Each structure stands twice: as structure tokens, then as C-alpha cells.
Amino acid sequence: MRRFIVLSFAALFVFSLFSCQAGGGKSASSDASLSSLIVSFNGSPLALAPAFSAETYAYSATAAYNAGSVKVSAAAADGGARVSGTGAVSLALGANALSLVVTAEDGKTSLTYTIEVSRPEWHVYIDGGVWAAKGKYEYQQPVYWKDGLINYLPLNEGYLSGGLGGIAVSASGDIYVAGNQQGTLVGYWKNSAFHQLPAGSGYSSLTPSDIAIASNGDIWLVGYGKTTTSTDYVYWKNEEGPTPLTGSPANANVISADHAGNVYIVGTIGSGAAGKPYVWVNGGEPKALPIGDTYTNGNAHRIGMDSSGEFFACGQVWSATASVPAFWNTTAGVWQAPSPLSTAGLDPSSFSINMLDLAFASDDTPSFVALVRPASGALFTSLYRWAGASGAPAAMGSVNGATALLVTDSAAAFDGDDRIVVAGSAGTDQPNGRNTWPITDGVPISWTNGEPASLQTDASYPFGWARSIAVGP
């Protein structure tokens, strides 16, 4: 009996040893599925269609036109599985096929997940006006340029001229150009068809200055109306308006939309040295932009939003002894004190700096654009850009040497290849004095990364100006 027990324990020991050497009784997993899959641009996930499921292996998504690359992140359901194909992936225009291969722990089982990411084609749209002869700017023909090629906007019967007030492009590619016809017929062109808006009462003329398409589809315009005694800054929302902005602003010409259906109008209350910058949200009560402790006054000229939903505004701030270009930005939706821009090489006592616009690269880095002229000079002759909030001003390029000039409400935007584009005009004849419209012999021009290129004109309308920019499908 004792011998049988000893032999039984010996047999059990040998069997256990064999089992451990064979893998401890646990076979390698054959699970090659994913537990998560995210495709993102600038930290924001793209919407997958259909929604992710471990048992669904083919997806589609649409990226922004300026998404030169996306980040693919994925996790395997089993900790022993390996995933290949994650990380940064470059996108071309059109359809891009992305694949992830999950190899199970057993080294034999694998699954492939595919995502077709579409990056829309993009175009640069610029609005402006052209006229037939030097000094005949009051008879300007409204136009817009698509990738530099001119498109004439029709005038209603009996109207001889039109003014432009901003351009916007919807996600579906509809082109909106705000403007008026001879100062009295106000509205916007949608895909070249004019849509008239109410003119209100008491205004001798109405001039839209900007347009925005809210994320909920509402169409907003901002501009000004002249009465016999004053100038009112007003807005339209769809078919409603013109509604005067509260606070009697000295200017309020620019509007921008966020991701939640809201719009923001930026401007200044108080004239000249007494001015202070304000923002109106959805046409409500004005909200003061902070001035901080160093400065007493300022103005805000442009406003824009980055892809994360934070806003920036640019303009000037000043004290009794100094005036400098500056910008404001929001943090978690709260406006911060102004941040002065560098004036390295541009001593404000020797140069006049007129902020034009701001724009965001695909990684949300802001750029600021301004016209600069010697304090003793008659015309703004140089175009400067600040790349990033702490960047130094750098000359972008010129046209006609020292006689180059841009009208003051020119605009900037980044195209789909992350190149900054600035619209304006160049000329020498400015009868109303420096820093004023018109330049009667101006020619419409765009600058791309500082390199100038003439926008298309023809023999009937050789003169003109380029005013604002939109980039989209």
C-alpha cells in the first residue's frame, strides 16, 4: 500500500511538470478585435460612420479641408494583441484609405479595420469690386474671385453699382457675399443670386461690412446705416433687421461664428483716444474686453475662432505714453487681458501700425497681419505678419516697391496647404489722404506667404480692390 501511494505522487509530479512546460495550461489568445478606434484632427475626434463597434470592420469619416494629417488611435481588446497602423497619417485631397491590422496573441489570428477618410477639395474665395477707369470707383462692379478667377455679381435692373461687405462659404460649398446696390438695396448674393434684406426706416444708405453663417444655418450680417444726423452700426439675422447695436459703437464691422450657433461682433465704443474695445454676442449687450493695468484704452478690429472654440481679437491698446498692437484671447471662454505684439524693428514712435486681421494655421497657431508705414509717410507701404503670439514682425512682400498700399480693411486666411493669404490692392493715387478709401488706381492683389499675385481683371474693369477672404469647399 505504501509503495502505491509513493508511485501515485511521483506520477502526479511528472504530469504537473509536463503541463507547466507546455504552457501552464493556458493557450495564447486568438482575440484580434479592437476595443476603441479614434481618428482625430487637432485633438478633436472625427465622426465615424457607422459608430465604432468591435464587430464592424469598415468605416468612413470626413476631415476638414485643411487637415493635412490625422491621428489614428486604437486599443486592442486583449492586452496581448498587437495593433499596427496607428499614429499620424498624411491625407491627400479626396478619399484616403487607412488600415489597422490587429494581430492576436497567438500570432496567427488577425483582423483588419479600414477607415476611408475624405478630405474635401478647397478653394480661396475673395470678394471685392472693380471699376472701369481711374477715379470712377463710385461705379464699381461687385465681384468675387475663386482661386484668382473673377466672377461678376449681377446687379438688379436700374442699379449701376454695388458695394461689398464680406464673403463666407458654407460647409456644403454655397458662396455668400454681403453687399448693397447703390447704397439703398441691401442684402447678399448666394451663389450669385441677390437676396434682398429689410432696409428699415430712417436710413439714407446701408452698407454691410461682414457676413457669417452660424453653425445652425442662421445668416448674420453686420454693417452700418447713415441717417441725416448719425451713423448706426447694425446687424441682420436672417430676415430680421437692421437692428442697431447697443452702446452706440464708433465702429463694429466684423462678425464671427462659434460651434454652438452663436455669433460675435467686435468693435469699439468711444471715438479716437477715448475708445475701448467691446464684443457683442448674438447682438446682445456689449461686453468690454479687458484693458489690464498697463493701458487705458484701445480698439478691436478683427475677431476669429480657432478649432478648439477659443476666440482671439486683434487691435491696438494705448496709454498716455505709448500705443502698441495687441491681441486678446479667451481661455475656457473667458477673455484675458491684452497681450502686446512685438514691435521689434518697428518702433511705434517712428512707425504707424494698422492691424488688419488674424488667421489660424491648421494647428491653431494664430498669425496677425498689419500695414506699416513711417510716421512721416503718406501711405501704408509695407505688409507685416506676426507668426504666433510671441513672434516678431516680418515683412511679407511688396508690390510696386515703396508705392505699394493695401486698403485698410483687407483680410487674411490660411488656405488648405497652411499658407497665409492676404487680400488687398496696390496703387498710388489716394486723394482722400493716407489710410483712407479709395485708391483710385488700385489693382486687386492677393499675397500668399508674402508673394504677391494679381487677381484677374479684364479690359472693361482694370482697376479694383480685394476686400475679404473665405476658404472652403
Cα separation of the two ends of the chain: 91
> What's residue 375's pLDDT?
67
Strand positions, DSSP E, 319-400: 323-331, 334-335, 339-340, 351-360, 366-374, 382-387, 393-395
Q: How many helices (H) and strands (E) does the chain have?
A: 1, 37
For residue 138, what pLDDT is reported? 73
Q: Which residue has cell 489690464? A: 292
Q: Which of 413, 360, 416 is nearest to 93 (CA)?
A: 416
- Beta strands across the sheet bearing 149-152: 149-152, 141-146, 123-131, 463-472
Strands (E), 94-183: 94-103, 110-119, 123-131, 141-146, 149-152, 162-169, 175-181
Supply 246's cell numbers.
Answer: 447697443
Strand order in the sheet with 44-45: 44-45, 34-41, 69-76, 87-90
Give the rounded distance of the alpha carbon of 31 from its chain centre: 44
Q: For 302-349, how does the pLDDT look when each residue is reduced to its tens digit (9 = 90+)? A: 999 998 899 999 999 999 888 899 999 999 999 999 999 999 988 767
**Helix (H) or strand (E) run with residue 343 in it:** none
pLDDT digits (tens, 9 = 90+) for 143-180: 999 999 999 999 999 998 998 889 999 988 999 999 99
Q: Once rounded to an integer, what is the mean pLDDT over residues 454-461?
A: 93
To the nearest 10°, the Cα dihedral for 358, 217, 151, 187? -100
Listed residue (279, 346, 289, 354) closest to 315, CA to CA: 354
- pLDDT tens for 73-95 read 999 999 999 999 999 999 999 99
- How confident is the model over 14-72, as pLDDT tens digits? 444 444 444 455 799 999 999 999 999 988 899 999 999 999 999 999 999 999 999 99
Range 152-158, long-range pairs (CB < 8 A, 24+ positions): 153/177, 153/179, 153/189, 153/192, 153/194, 154/189, 154/192, 154/193, 154/194, 155/181, 156/181, 156/185, 156/194
Cα–Cα distance for residue pair 184/199, rounded to 1 Å: 7
Q: What is the mean pLDDT of residues 110-117?
A: 98
Instruction: Read off the pLDDT band of 407 (50, 70, 90).
Output: low
Report the chain's mean pLDDT, rounded to a whole number.
87
Residue 386 CA to residue 411 CA, distance in Å, equals 14
User: Residue 246: helix, strand or coil by DSSP?
Assistant: coil
Query: Pairing mode, if any, of strands 87-90 and 94-103?
Result: unpaired
- Give dist(CA 328, CA 311) in Å, integer: 8
Instruction: Report domain extents, the chain.
Output: 34-119, 123-472
Residue with more model confidence, 71 or 380: 71
pLDDT at 20: 44
| Cα separations in angstroms, 212 against 19, 44, 289 | 72, 23, 21
pLDDT surpassing 60 at residue 103: yes
Q: Bigger pLDDT: 434 or 73?
A: 73
Other Cβ atoms within 10 Å of 238 Cβ, number: 12
Percent of the chain with pLDDT over 70: 87
> Do residues 264 and 256 lie in contact, with contact meaning Cβ atoms separated by under 8 Å?
yes
CB count in 10 Å sphere of residue 330: 17
Tell me what pLDDT residue 259 has.
87
Q: Can you give the pLDDT at residue 416?
A: 93
Q: Which three cell numbers stand for residue 190?
A: 448666394
On the CB side of 65, CA atoms within 13 Å amount to 18
Residue with cell 497567438: 106
> Residue 13 — φ and ψ, nearest 5°?
-60, -45
pLDDT of residue 427: 74
Query: Which of the two residues, 416 and 410, has the higher pLDDT score?
Result: 416
Coil, helix or strand at residue 93: coil
Residue 436: the pLDDT is 52
pLDDT at position 3 is 44
Rounded-to-integer distance, Cα 252 and Cα 270, Å? 11
The alpha carbon dihedral of 23, 25, 29, 35 has a sign of negative
Q: What is the CATH number of domain 34-119?
A: 2.60.40
Q: What is the CATH number of domain 123-472?
A: 2.120.10.30
Helix/strand/coil for 350 = coil
Tell me if 416 sits within 8 A of 66, measured CB to CB.
Answer: yes
Whole-number pLDDT of residue 442: 80
Supply the pLDDT for residue 2: 44
Q: If pLDDT is split at 50, 70 and 90, which confidence band does 372 have?
A: confident
Residue 403 has pLDDT above 50, yes or no: no
- The answer to whether 34-119 and 123-472 have equal CATH topology is no
pLDDT of residue 437: 55
